[in-house]
């Protein structure tokens, strides 16, 4: 599987950054408009609709239509792990039934005084078997502007 990562320092305390990323509104605020993202539904681990916090087991039904071209792509993002302790926090989501053969996104947050270091690590594979696997590293061309924009927007909203 190919891997993409991006690291950013935000001049905001960990609890503020963590709370922001723990809510569906954070995802919506950080997704670039050109993706035309639509959150279709959010279900908590207990089956409740629209939970306040995306806990382990939460499922988010999403769709997007990049640049408004082609049919909407639909998938479910499931929070498979979430931890918070000792000035560190993380959560991991996995894409199910989406445009990638594999997508595992780990979001890490580390307190550094009154600032927070954010790291996104995405392990992914494009569809298409061996051919998709071979060209997967080229997807960085799309990831880089998307994650650069997400990190810039995080700083803009939280600093």
pLDDT digits (tens, 9 = 90+) for 33-74: 888 999 999 999 999 999 999 999 999 999 999 899 999 999
Query: Which H/E stretch holds residue 6?
Result: strand 2-10
- pLDDT reported for residue 132: 64
- What's the structural domain count of the chain? 1
User: With bands split at pLDDT 50, 70 and 90, how would you rate the model's confidence at 150?
Assistant: very high
CATH, residue 110? 3.30.530.20
**Nearest in space to 31 (alpha carbons), one of 147, 111, 130, 110:** 147
Sheet holding 115-125, edge to edge: 2-10, 115-125, 102-112, 88-96, 73-85, 59-64, 38-43
Asked if the model's pLDDT at residue 137 lies above 80, the reply is no
Phi then psi dihedrals of residue 67, to 5 deg:
60, 15
- pLDDT reported for residue 129: 80
Query: Reduced to 3 states, what is the DSSP secondary structure of residue 23?
Result: coil
* Strand extents, DSSP E, 26-142: 38-43, 59-64, 73-85, 88-96, 102-112, 115-125
pLDDT digits (tens, 9 = 90+) for 72-129: 999 999 999 999 999 999 999 999 999 889 999 999 999 999 999 999 999 999 878 8
In which domain, by residue range, is 89 found?
2-158
Query: Reduced to 3 states, what is the DSSP secondary structure of residue 19?
Result: helix
């Amino acid at each position: 599987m190919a891997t993409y990562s991006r690291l950013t320092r935000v001049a905001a305390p960990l609890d503020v950054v963590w709370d922001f990323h723990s809510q569906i509104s954070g995802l919506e605020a950080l997704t670039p408009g050109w993706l035309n993202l639509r959150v279709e539904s959010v279900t908590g681990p207990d089956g409740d609709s629209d939970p306040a916090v995306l806990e382990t087991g939460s499922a988010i039904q999403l769709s997007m239509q990049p640049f408004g071209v082609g049919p909407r792509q639909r998938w479910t993002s499931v929070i498979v792990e979430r931890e918070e302790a000792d000035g560190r926090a993380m959560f991991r989501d996995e894409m199910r039934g989406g445009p990638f053969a594999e997508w595992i996104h780990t979001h890490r947050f580390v307190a550094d005084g009154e600032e927070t270091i954010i790291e996104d690590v995405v392990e992914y594979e494009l569809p298409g078997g061996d051919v998709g696997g071979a060209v997967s590293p080229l997807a960085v061309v799309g990831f880089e502007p998307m994650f650069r924009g997400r990190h810039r927007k995080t700083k803009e909203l939280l600093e």
